[in-house]
Chain A
Amino acid sequence: MSSAGAGSTDSTAARRNTKRPKYSKFTQQELPACKPILTPRAVISAFLLVSVVFVPVGVASLLASRKVVEIVYRYDSECIPKNVTNKVAYIQSSSDKACSITLNVTKRMKSPIYIYYQLDNFYQNHRRYVKSRSDEQLREHSEENSTSTCKPEDMVNGKAIVPCGLIAWSLFNDTYSFSVNNRNLSVNKKGISWKSDRDHKFGKDVFPKNFQNSSIIGGASLNESIPLRDQEDLIVWMRTAALPTFRKLYGKIEEDLNEGQLINVTLKNNYNTYSFNGKKKLVLSTTTWLGGKNDFLGIAYLTVGGLCFFLALSFTIVYFVKPRQLGDPSYLSWNRNPGGH
Chain B
Amino acid sequence: MKRYVYINDDESSHDLYCDNRISNRKYTVLNFIPKNLWEQFSRFMNQYFLLIACLQLWSLITPVNPASTWGPLIFIFAVSATKEAWDDYHRYLSDKKANEKEVWVVKNGIKKLIQAQDIHVGNIVWLRENDEVPCDLVLIGSSDPQGLCYIETAAMDGETDLKTRVIPSACMGIDVELLHKIKGVIECPTPDKDIRRFDANMRLFPPFIDNDICPLTIKNTVLQSCYLRNTEWACGVAVYTGNETKLGMSRGIPEPKLTAMDAMIDKLTGAIFVFQIVVVMVLGIAGNVWKDTEAKKQWYVLYPDKGPWYELLIIPLRFELLCSIMIPISIKVSLDLVKGLYAKFIDWDDQMVDLETSTPSNATNTAISEDLGQVEYILTDKTGTLTENKMIFRRCCISGIFYGNENGDALKDVELLHAVSSGSPDVVQFLTIMAICNTVIPTQSKTGDILYKAQSQDEDALVQAAARLHMVFFNKSGNILEVKFNNLILQYEVLETLEFTSDRKRMSLVLKDCQNGKILLLSKGADEAILPYARTGQQTRNFVEAVEQYAHLGLRTLCLAWRELREDEYREWSLMFKEANSTLVDREWRVAEVCQRIEHNLEVLGVTAIEDRLQDGVPETIETLRKAGINFWMLTGDKQNTAIQIALSCNFISPEPKGQLLSIDGKTEDEVRRSLERVLLTMRITTSEPKDVAFVIDGWALDFALNHYRKAFTELAILSRTAICCRVTPSQKAQLVQILKSCDYRTLAIGDGGNDVRMIQQADIGVGISGREGLQAARAADYSIGKFRFLKRLILVHGRYSYNRTAFLSQYSFYKSLLICFIQIFFSFISGVSGTSLFNSVSLMAYNVFYTSVPVLVSVLDKDLSEETVIQHPQILFYCQAGRLLNPSTFAGWFGRSLFHAIVVFLISIHAYAYDKSEMEEVSMVALSGCIWLQAFVVAMETNSFTILQHLAIWGNLAGFYAINWIFSALPASGMYTIMFRLCRQPSYWISIFLMTAAGMTPILAIKYFRFTYRPSKINTLQQAERLGGPIVSLGTIEPQPRPLIEKDVSTLSITQPKIRNPVYEPLLSDSPNATRRSAGTPFDFFQSQSRSSLPNYSRNCKDN
Q: Smallest CB-CB separation from B866: which chain A residue?
A: A35
Known: A9-B772, A16-B359, A196-B978. A329 touches B1035 (CB 8 A): yes
A247 at the interface (CB under 8 A from B): yes
B920 near A241: Cβ-Cβ < 8 Å: yes
- Nearest B residue to A50 via CB reads B998
Would A27 and B345 count as touching, CB distance under 8 A?
Answer: yes
A46 to B937 Cα, complex, angstroms: 14
> Beta-carbon contacts of B833-851 to A below 8 Å, as 1s and 0s?
0111010000000000000
Name the one of A47, A57, A166, A292 contacting B915, with C-beta atoms under 8 angstroms.
A292
Q: Cβ of A19 < 8 Å from any Cβ of B? A: yes
Residues of B within 8 A of A275 (CB): 297-299
Closest residue of B by beta carbon distance from A19: B360
Quick check: which of B119-127, B520-528, B761-769, B1021-1029 contacts chain A, the rest being far away? B1021-1029
B992 within 8 A of A: yes
Q: Nearest Cβ in chain B — how far from A224, in angstroms? A: 22
The chain A residue with its CB closest to the CB of B834 is A127
Q: Bound state CA distance, A249 and B878, in angstroms?
A: 63
Query: Are A200 and B160 in contact (CB-based, < 8 A)?
Result: no
A244 within 8 A of B: yes
Which chain A residues numbered 21 to 65 have a C-beta less than 8 Å away from chain B? Answer: 21-23, 27-29, 31-40, 43, 46-47, 50, 54, 57, 61
> Which chain A residues in 305-341 approach chain B with CB under 8 Å?
307-308, 311, 315, 318, 322, 324-329, 331-335, 338-339, 341
The answer to whether B915 touches A245 (Cβ under 8 A) is yes
Complex contacts, B1002 vs chain A, CB 8 Å: 47, 50, 304, 307-308, 311
Q: In the bound complex, do residue B302 and residue A294 qualify as a contact, i.e. CB atoms below 8 Å apart?
A: no
CB distance from A121 to the nearest CB of B (A): 9
Q: How far is the CB of B618 from chain A (nearest CB, A)?
A: 20
Q: Are A33 and B350 in contact (CB under 8 A)?
A: no
Give the residue of A4, A27, A34 whose beta carbon is less than 8 angstroms from that of B451: A4
B-chain residues with CB within 8 Å of residue A22 when the two chains form the complex: 348
B771's nearest neighbour on chain A, judged by CB, is A12
The answer to whether B301 touches A123 (Cβ under 8 A) is: yes
Q: How many angstroms between the C-alpha atoms of A36 and B947 in the bound complex?
A: 11
With known contacts A21-B360, A32-B947, A126-B836, A327–B452 Cβ distance under 8 A: no
Count of chain A residues near B, Cβ 8 A: 110
Tell me the smallest distance from the CB of B148 to a CB of chain A, in Å: 19
Residues of chain B within 8 A of A297, CB atoms compared:
912, 988, 991-992, 995
Using known A-B contacts A4-B449, A126-B298, A300-B908, determine if residue A34 contacts B1032 with beta carbons closer than 8 Å: no
A43 x B1018 contact (CB < 8 A): no
Contacts of A57 in B (CB 8 A): 991
Q: Across the interface, do B449 and A196 meet the contact criterion of CB distance under 8 Å?
A: no
CB-CB contacts below 8 Å: B243-292 with A: none
A1 touches which of B452, B467, B627, B1014 (Cβ 8 Å): B467
In chain B, positions 405-447 with a C-beta closer than 8 Å to chain A are none
In B874-893, the 8 Å CB interface with A consists of 875, 878
Which residues from chain A contact B1012 at a C-beta distance below 8 Å?
Answer: 37-38
* Contacting pair A4 B452 (CB below 8 A): yes
Q: In this assembly, does A153 line the interface, its C-beta being within 8 Å of a C-beta of chain B?
A: yes
B344: chain A residues at CB < 8 Å are 27
Contact residues in B for A249 (Cβ distance below 8 Å):
916
Contact between B300 and A194, CB atoms less than 8 A apart:
no
Interface string of B602-633 (1 = CB under 8 A from A): 00000000000000000000000001010000
| A126 vs B987: C-alpha distance when bound (angstroms) | 29
Question: Taking the complex as formed, is A272 at the interface, i.e. its CB lies under 8 A from any CB of chain B?
Answer: yes
B295 within 8 A of A: yes
Report A's interface with B, CB cutoff 8 A: 1-9, 11-13, 16-23, 27-29, 31-40, 43, 46-47, 50, 54, 57, 61, 114, 116, 118, 122-130, 135, 152-153, 166, 169-170, 194, 196, 200-201, 216, 218-219, 239-249, 272, 275-277, 289-292, 294, 296-297, 300-301, 304, 307-308, 311, 315, 318, 322, 324-329, 331-335, 338-339, 341
Q: Which residues of B contact A (CB under 8 A)?
A: 63, 160-161, 294-295, 297-304, 318, 344-345, 347-351, 353, 357-360, 390, 449-454, 460, 464, 467-468, 470, 472, 627, 629, 690, 770, 772, 774-775, 801, 827, 830-832, 834-836, 838, 861, 863, 873, 875, 878, 908, 910-920, 922-924, 944-950, 972, 975, 977-978, 986-988, 991-992, 995, 998-999, 1002, 1005-1006, 1008-1009, 1012-1014, 1016, 1018, 1021-1028, 1030-1032, 1035-1036
19 A-B pairs (CB sep. < 8 Å) = A1-B470, A3-B449, A4-B451, A12-B160, A21-B347, A27-B349, A28-B348, A34-B945, A34-B946, A46-B1005, A124-B920, A128-B834, A242-B913, A248-B916, A275-B297, A304-B1002, A311-B1006, A332-B1018, A339-B690
